[in-house]
């Protein structure tokens, strides 16, 4: 009896296991069908293409285009090159690394292949770089393969210096000048302002004297920056000594008093 009972129980167990195995197989089959149906209903989207970032390129200009740029822009760097010049190609590759930087500093960077015009500006060998400040040219004498030195030159107060003229700068150039120069006088002004024009006219009389004393002198028309400094009504003269600003509170048309201060 015991043997028969054991055999019967074993048979029941086997039948139960067989049923559960069949159920599991059916579930797996159904899940597979659902996944296939979902895949068919929602086909995979193609992977988004990576955006290609355009490399900075120094703009090519003709002689007439260069003339127009010089008439319209205060600060222009001109790269002179010649055809079939391997050194020119190598230098250009380095300079294009700072093209975006010069743009942000307000310096336009162009290149030109015109030997006749180059000779007019005193360029005899290629490659060469000329920096025009309000149409006044200065030839860069440093290493053109050192793009960081070129950038420092193009954004330096020394390169922007013009006789008896206070150079106009933007906010970024001003920040760099203040960081690089121990003593800087900055005239904040606004266009179409008679009082500003009068103050500027008088202060330009002492620009060279200030330069001889080691004091940089620049002007900036940036009312937003003036508001940030709480300068009030313009014009205002701010003197930076080791990056610490001091506002001149007296009359700006008395240039000798300003110089003594």
Q: Quickly state the pLDDT bin for 31 (edges 50, 70, 90).
A: low
Please report the pLDDT score of residue 59 as a whole number.
Answer: 94
Percent with pLDDT over 90 in the chain? 50
Respond yes or no on whether the N-terminal peptide bond of residue 74 is cis (omega within 30° of 0): no
7-20 in b/e burial notation, b at 16+ Cβ within 10 A?
A: eeeeeeeeeeeeee
- Smallest CA-to-CA distance from 221 within 174, 163, 179 is with 174
Q: What is the pLDDT of residues 139-178, one digit of tens each?
A: 999 999 999 999 999 988 887 777 668 888 888 889 888 9
Percent with pLDDT over 70 in the chain? 78
Q: Alpha-carbon distance 133 to 75, whole Å?
A: 5
Please report the pLDDT score of residue 32 as a whole number.
Answer: 54
Please report the pLDDT score of residue 131 as a whole number.
Answer: 95
* Mean pLDDT of the chain, nearest integer: 82
Distances (CA, A) of 78 to 30, 133, 182, 225: 72, 11, 30, 30
Please report the pLDDT score of residue 62 as a whole number.
Answer: 96
Please report the pLDDT score of residue 56 as a whole number.
Answer: 61
Q: Quickly state the pLDDT bin for 5 (edges 50, 70, 90).
A: very low
pLDDT over 80 at 36, yes or no: no
Q: Quickly state the pLDDT bin for 51 (edges 50, 70, 90).
A: very low
- Which of 4-18, 69-83, 205-219 is modeled with the greatest confidence? 69-83
Mean pLDDT computed over 55-78: 91
Measured on CA atoms in the order 96, 175, 137, 128, is the torsion positive or negative? negative
> Can you list the domains of the chain with their CATH numbers?
59-155 (3.40.30.10), 167-260 (3.40.30.10)
Burial class for 211, CB neighbours closer than 10 Å (0-12, 13-18, 19+): middle
75-79, 118-122, 208-212: the lowest-pLDDT one: 208-212
- Smallest CA-to-CA distance from 100 within 50, 54, 146, 158 is with 54
41-45, 90-94, 110-114: the lowest-pLDDT one: 41-45
Mean pLDDT computed over 79-103: 94
Please report the pLDDT score of residue 44 as a whole number.
Answer: 46
Mean pLDDT computed over 201-223: 89
């Amino acid at each position: 009896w015991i043997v028969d009972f054991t055999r019967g129980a074993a048979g029941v167990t086997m039948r139960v296991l067989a049923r559960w195995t069949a159920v599991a197989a059916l579930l797996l089959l159904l899940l597979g069908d659902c996944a296939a149906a979902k895949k068919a209903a929602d086909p995979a989207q193609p992977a988004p293409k990576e955006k290609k970032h355009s490399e900075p390129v120094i703009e090519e200009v003709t002689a007439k285009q260069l003339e127009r740029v010089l008439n319209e822009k205060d600060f222009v760097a001109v790269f002179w090159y010649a055809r079939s010049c391997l050194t020119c190609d190598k230098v250009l590759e380095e300079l294009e690394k700072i093209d975006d930087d010069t743009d942000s500093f307000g310096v336009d960077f162009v290149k030109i292949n015109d030997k006749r015009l180059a000779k007019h500006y005193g360029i005899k060998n290629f490659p060469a770089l000329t920096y025009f400040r309000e149409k006044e040219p200065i030839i860069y004498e440093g290493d053109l393969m050192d793009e960081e030195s070129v950038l420092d030159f193009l954004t330096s107060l020394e390169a922007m210096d013009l006789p008896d003229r206070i150079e106009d700068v933007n906010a970024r150039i001003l920040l760099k000048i203040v960081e690089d120069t121990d003593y800087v006088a900055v005239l904040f002004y606004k266009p179409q302002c008679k009082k500003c024009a009068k103050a500027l006219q008088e202060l330009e009389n002492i620009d060279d004297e200030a330069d001889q004393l080691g004091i940089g002198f620049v002007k900036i028309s940036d009312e937003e920056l003036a508001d940030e400094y709480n300068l009030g009504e313009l014009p205002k003269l701010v003197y930076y000594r080791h990056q610490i600003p001091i506002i001149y509170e007296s009359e700006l048309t008395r240039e000798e008093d300003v110089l003594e201060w």
